[in-house]
Structure 1
């Protein structure tokens, strides 16, 4: 019995070794056949990872540089070198800085230039400021007609007040009626319709 067990055990061991070598040969054939693709894939992964790391390092450097420029601008708002750095690295941030300075200084010339800003928010706010400063109902109406105008309802109220002052009551009613019922300015619009516009 022992000899039979030993033979079976040796046979099983030879079968497992045979299977191992068979798999090794298949793997070797696969590697030889697709060697270029495997190396190419590995190189591509290394390049993507390296590019991502380089991008992150560059982005971090830019953030530090912009923060340094902003700190300089907080001390000296007219520092042209710091402004140039911000404009070069982050045009949207430059427009936001210019907008905030234009609001403080009531600089409508700078504000008009910002109406074409690449930053949608800055362009929207600058457009409102220009229309509001001009006290022009048509400009306010144009601003309010924009789809995502931030101060849409306020522009409509201001436009209605301008029309009221010109005794164009129908136009004033039309503007006030456009203010949404969820707006915080709805009560003011209702008051103007009932008391101010007759």
Structure 2
């Protein structure tokens, strides 16, 4: 290598070191200038992660406690304190348990208490069951007029049977005609229209 090449190589190394030190100085100035916001950001991130972990742990503990309380109720411990504890831990799980008790007891009153439940399907099923057990025509009509209810067509059959018992044949026909032809109750509706409602 020639002397000129060596000098050029040394110059390049000095330039790269100079650039490195220049960047280090800029970084040091940035850190000094924004030291407090950077520390605050790190602390905020740590607190958010800790809060999220604490929330998840608390949620899991609540689920575990609700399941244990449900096991107590299923074992036959029907005291009001246990029921209230389940209600406070998980209102939806409480409503599911209360629905199972209403089904076992065939209690229209217990079903009526659950008509506003936020638990999946419980409000819908309880509304139908309460109306059906009471034989309440107005409640069944109100239920059947709702959109996307589970037992809509069954409610229409119930209404047709009530109308038949009252001798209101046209009303029974009207209720049965609202049952779609692809419904599982279509054959029941046809049979009632043909044999039961003339």
What is the TM-score with the length of structure 2 in the denominator? 0.90
Conserved 8 A contact 1:116-1:123: yes
Shift in CA distance, 57/120, structure 1 to aligned 2, threshold 3 Å: closer
| Alignment root-mean-square deviation, CA | 1.8
What residue is the counterpart of 1:67 in the other structure?
67
User: 1:77-132 CA distances to partner (integer Å, 9 max, x unpaired)?
Assistant: 41333222211110111111111111101222222222232335222111111110
Conserved 8 A contact 2:102-2:110: yes
Q: Can you give the 5+ residue segments of structure 2 that lack an aligned partner in the other structure? A: none
Q: Can you give the 5+ residue segments of structure 1 that lack an aligned partner in the other structure? A: none
Conserved 8 A contact 2:108-2:131: no
Displacement of 1:28 in angstroms is 2.3
What residue is the counterpart of 2:8 in the other structure?
8
User: 1:25-70 CA distances to partner (integer Å, 9 max, x unpaired)?
Assistant: 2222333333333223222211111011001111111122112112
Shift in CA distance, 44/180, structure 1 to aligned 2, threshold 3 Å: farther
Secondary structure of the 2:121 match is helix
Shift in CA distance, 145/182, structure 1 to aligned 2, threshold 3 Å: same
Secondary structure of the 1:148 match is coil
Conserved 8 A contact 2:108-2:134: no
What residue is the counterpart of 1:166 in the other structure?
166
Alignment partner of 1:79 is 2:83: no
Conserved 8 A contact 1:137-1:163: no
User: How many positions carry a matched residue from both structures?
Assistant: 198
Structure 2 Cα separation of the partners of residues 68 and 120 of structure 1: 21
Structure 2 Cα separation of the partners of residues 190 and 43 of structure 1: 71
Conserved 8 A contact 1:136-1:159: no
Alignment of 1:74-113 (within 5 A): 74-113=74-113
What residue is the counterpart of 1:184 in the other structure?
184
Structure 1 Cα separation of the partners of residues 121 and 47 of structure 2: 37
